[in-house]
Structures are given as C-alpha cells and as structure tokens.
Amino acid sequence: MNLEVITTGPYRVFVYGSLMKGLSNHRVLGDAEMIGTAEIEPTSDKAFEMRDLGPFPGIFPVDFEEGQAIQGEVYDVDYGTLRRLDRLEGVNVYSPQAGLYYRTSVVVSNPSDPRIDGTIAWTYVLTDRSARGTRRTKSGSWPETVSNRRRKEFNVLP
C-alpha cells in the first residue's frame, strides 16, 4: 500500500517496540486510544522476524517458515499522530527503502478481542539497508527481549 495523503481517521496502528505502553517512545502516541494487545502472525502473504537494533527493535520480512508471531499493541490514532510516528520511524514517503523504516499494512490477531481480531493496521518495517548487521531476537516480544537482556547483564537467573 502507498502512503496516501488522507487526513481523516482514525488510523489503526500496531506497535511492537519502544512505542508500547511504559517504554521510551510511548509519549509520541499522545492521547491515542489503545484498543488492546495483538499479534502479527506469519502468513503465506506476510511473515516477519523481530530484529534487535540495541535500544529498539524492528521487524523484517522473511519467508513464512522463518516468521515469528510479533507481539504488540493496537492503537487508533489521528492524522497528526500518524505523521509524528512516521517522523520518529524515519519514514521516507517518496522513497520507502531510503528511510529507517517503511509503513505497511498488516492483519493483526487477537481471537479473544473481536474489536481487533482480523483487522488491518499500519505498522513499521525495517528497510533492507536498516536491517543489515542486525540480529534476530529469540522471540517476537520486545519486552521479553529487553527483560532477558537485563537478566544477562545482572546475572539474574530466570
């Protein structure tokens, strides 16, 4: 999908890293309404793995067999918030692969929440250039990845 300039909303957005509640960039979402938690499950059309970029993650397209269930949160945002998210994520609307991330649509799932399950949301995906030299995380959960990293740093057993 392209980044059409439509100024109505709300826009449904799936976040999976530093934009999640309680993490460093959540403030960029302002007063956006959190609809709930969800996953992007691997499908034959789209599958992703989570990559570790140090202070924040990114997801990157992979073959279905290599895909991870990416865990995150779903928000409804207005146009101004969507544009702030694009700026934070380094989206280049004129040349998507030239940015840090590009914005694309995904189907999110949460079978226990009919408001979310099977809906389409925008999310941010690492460009090829940005993914170079990054490592796949063990799970598709950024909070779990950060927690495991802290346990290792402080020699705390799970």
- Is pLDDT above 60 for 28? yes
Q: Are strands 70-77 and 11-15 parallel, antiparallel or unpaired?
A: antiparallel
Give mean pLDDT, residues 10-26: 95
C-beta of residue 124 within 8 angstroms of C-beta of residue 95: no
User: Distance of CA 10 to CAs 35, 61, 71, 77, 108, Å?
Assistant: 12, 26, 22, 5, 16
Nearest alpha carbon to residue 4 among 85, 147, 103: 103
| Reported pTM | 0.89
- Is pLDDT above 60 for 115? yes
Better pLDDT: 152 or 105 = 105
Q: Would you list the domain boundaries of the chain?
A: 11-150
The CATH number, out of the four listed (3.10.490.10, 3.60.21.70, 3.90.1150.10, 1.10.10.10), of the domain defined by the range 11-150:
3.10.490.10
- Is pLDDT above 60 for 1? no
Provide the pLDDT for residue 149: 74
- Is pLDDT above 70 for 151? no
The C-alpha angle with vertex 24 and arms to 18 and 28, in degrees rounded to 5, equals: 80
Residue type, 43: T
